[in-house]
Chain A
Amino acid sequence: KAGVTQTPRYLIKTRGQQVTLSCSPISGHRSVSWYQQTPGQGLQFLFEYFSETQRNKGNFPGRFSGRQFSNSRSEMNVSTLELGDSALYLCASSLVIGQGASGYTFGSGTRLTVV
């Protein structure tokens, strides 16, 4: 079966712009989470959605937002981009929520570069 699909794979944006990243979860998965991966900070949790509702949010500024659609696909948006937002953004999906991420499957990520 198809895995978690993230688009685009690579993105270059200019400081001050905004960007939208997309994630299509595994068919049937209703929970989608987003993580930011950088060499300095490692993997950090951004937010999690289940049935179109944000269930958890990490410690990121309000410039980072997300949403989930009725078909479980999710998007995350970063406004007023800063150089420090350059990172690999990873999406993970699972069938259910609250079981310790035992069914987590990650996508290959979107590499965002802010210049």
Chain B
Amino acid sequence: QQQVKQSPQSLIVQKGGISIINCAYENTAFDYFPWYQQFPGKGPALLIAIRPDVSEKKEGRFTISFNKSAKQFSLHIMDSQPGDSATYFCAATTNNAGNMLTFGGGTRLMVKP
């Protein structure tokens, strides 16, 4: 059972545009929602994360929006750059699940120059 659904699977954005990736979860016990960025040949790297007590978190060009009632969260990449081209994964976990993450299916982002 896929507990975190991610969309779209792929995304093409022009340089300077906004990239938006969406995730929806089912388990209301999830209480930590990180986003990971993965380049080819590398492992995922933590980009930004949010807990459900806030509705938005911004770090540089990256913003997470969180809607607890809808059980949805999204990643916005402002002023997208070709260097942002990578695969992005949303994830979720609960405090009593140790460090076990449930990942979304991933979004392959291509930023065109």
Binding site for B on A (CB under 8 A): 4, 31, 33, 35, 42-45, 48, 50, 55-56, 58, 90, 92, 94, 97-102, 104-109
Contact of B43 among A4, A50, A55, A98 (CB under 8 A): A4
Q: Contact at B45–A106, with CB atoms within 8 Å?
A: yes
Q: Does B86 contact A (CB under 8 A)?
A: no
Could you list 19 A-B pairs, sorted by A, with CB under 8 Å?
A4-B43, A45-B100, A45-B102, A48-B98, A55-B98, A56-B98, A56-B100, A97-B98, A99-B95, A99-B99, A101-B93, A101-B100, A101-B101, A102-B34, A104-B101, A105-B45, A106-B44, A106-B45, A108-B43
A contacts with B: majority SS: strand
- Count residues of B near A (Cβ-Cβ below 8 Å): 28
Contact A100 B95 (CB under 8 A): yes
B12 at the interface (CB under 8 A from A): no
Binds A, one of B16-24, B55-63, B72-80, B103-111: B103-111
Given contacts A42-B104, A100-B32, A102-B32, contact A31 B43 (CB under 8 A): no
What chain B residues lie within 8 Å of A101 (beta carbons)? 32, 34, 91, 93, 99-101
Q: Which chain B residue shows the least CB distance to A111? A: B41
